Amino acid sequence: MQEGRTVFAQLMDYVPKYEFAKCVERYQGDKHIRKLSCYTQFQIMSFAQLTYRESLRDIETCLKAIGGKLYHTGIRRYVPRSTLADANEKRDWRIFSDFARVLIAQAVELYAGEPFGADLASAAYALDSTTIDLCLSLFPWAKFRQTKAAVKLHTLLALQGNFPTLVIITPGKVHDVNILDDLLFEPGAFYIMDRGYLDFGRLHRLHRAAAFFVTRAKANFQFRRRYSAPVAKASGIRFDQTVVLTGFYSHREYPDPLRRIGYTDPETGKALVFLTNNRTESAITITQLYRCRWQVELFFKWIKQHLRIKSFYGTSANAVKTQIWIAISVYVLIALLRKRLPVQHSPYTILQILSITLFEKTPISQALAQHPPELDEPNFTNQLCFQGF
């Protein structure tokens, strides 16, 4: 059925074009456009992500080199770099942001209930941010420090499936904790975050939304113990306490009791103290949840290594956000492909395979199946231990 169609064209079949068209119509992206539609822009930028192009000139050279095969990829005509640059500068980045959220919603449905390393039936999310350094002279709108520019990717990662459910792009000087104001919390879900998000007023809003958080206590944490539950110290749990805050401002912002759990990592001997508002899950499950927070760090490392978000094709805020959102769309599209075919390879392996088979005229399932799993990404097991906290 796929005979005569390239792997890239088959991959684009997984793009819900009707939903993409609705995003374009919402912001009138194709109004007065004759040469380069928003969908073709998305195709070309996706091609750049999948084949690791470094610049607009690089993209232009590769599209020229494809020659007669270009039509069979689904890209109907050659596009000069100046036209693509104008599109990235002027097309509303929210088109691609909204479309990425459409793909994310599909991924959430497909990966619901996926095991992720903790004995938990509820949804679990890891919240963190990563900073992408920029040149201040080229990106003055993203001023971070006196001689430095940067943008931050604030990411809410679904631990079932390891894909982002929310990405907020801000200038580098925006503090991480402010992102809690922009989140709508899912009742019954767990939100795992590091100490940079420890703001009791914001955490109490999460608590009132019937959601749960797991974080680490700071060294100057002021509290009074109300109750200590029995623990199995052989598992590494040192204590499991119910506490109330005693600081004047902290108690005013969070008047309800908290759960304080002490844990010693048996491998490193490092002592850790966790805070949570959940009282039903076991103490060891809470420690497992915080261990899984490291998945968001691996996600940042992965996308920086394998997607084009460190070298940008334009210098305006619109061009940078467009490129980042299309990169995220490609990542989630790979996650959807992995589940729907299905294949056992990791997203890393799938991207590596696609990068060298995009122009082959073979069924995409066959292209992925004929490669051995030895191409899989390196084992990050050692990075998941508590010494990474």
Provide the pLDDT confidence category of residue 3 given band limits of 50, 70 and 90: low
Nearest to 63 by CA among 323, 367, 358: 358
The more confident residue out of 117 and 325 is 325
Q: What is the pLDDT of residue 370?
A: 63
Say if residues 75 and 43 touch (Cβ distance below 8 Å): yes
Q: Is the peptide bond before 363 cis (omega within 30 degrees of 0)?
A: no
Say if residues 375 and 353 touch (Cβ distance below 8 Å): yes
Length of the chain: 389
pLDDT digits (tens, 9 = 90+) for 79-126: 888 999 999 999 999 999 999 999 998 988 888 777 777 777 788 999
Say if residues 289 and 225 touch (Cβ distance below 8 Å): no
Task: Give the C-alpha distances (Å, rounded to integers) separating 102 from 41, 99, 106.
Answer: 18, 5, 7
Is residue 315 helix, strand or coil?
coil
Is residue 132 helix, strand or coil?
strand
Q: Is the peptide bond before 342 cis (omega within 30 degrees of 0)?
A: yes
Distance, in Å, from the CA atom of 215 to the CA atom of 122, rounded to the nearest integer, reads 17
Q: What is the pLDDT of residue 387?
A: 35
Distance, in Å, from the CA atom of 196 to the CA atom of 184, rounded to the nearest integer, reads 19
- State pTM to two decimals: 0.81
> What's the alpha-carbon Rg for the chain, to the nearest Å?
23
Give the N- to C-terminal CA distance of the chain in Å, as an integer.
Answer: 50
pLDDT digits (tens, 9 = 90+) for 261-314: 999 988 788 899 999 999 999 999 999 999 888 888 888 887 777 777 767 888
Q: Which CATH homologous superfamily contains domain 116-297?
A: Transposase Inhibitor Protein From Tn5; Chain A, domain 1 (3.90.350.10)
Task: Name the token pair of 131.
Answer: 């900073």
The ranges assigned to domains in the chain are: 7-96+314-381, 116-297
∠ Cα 29 32 36 (to 5°): 65
Give me the torsion for CA of 287, 289, 290, 291, rounded to 10°.
Answer: 90
The more confident residue out of 239 and 361 is 239
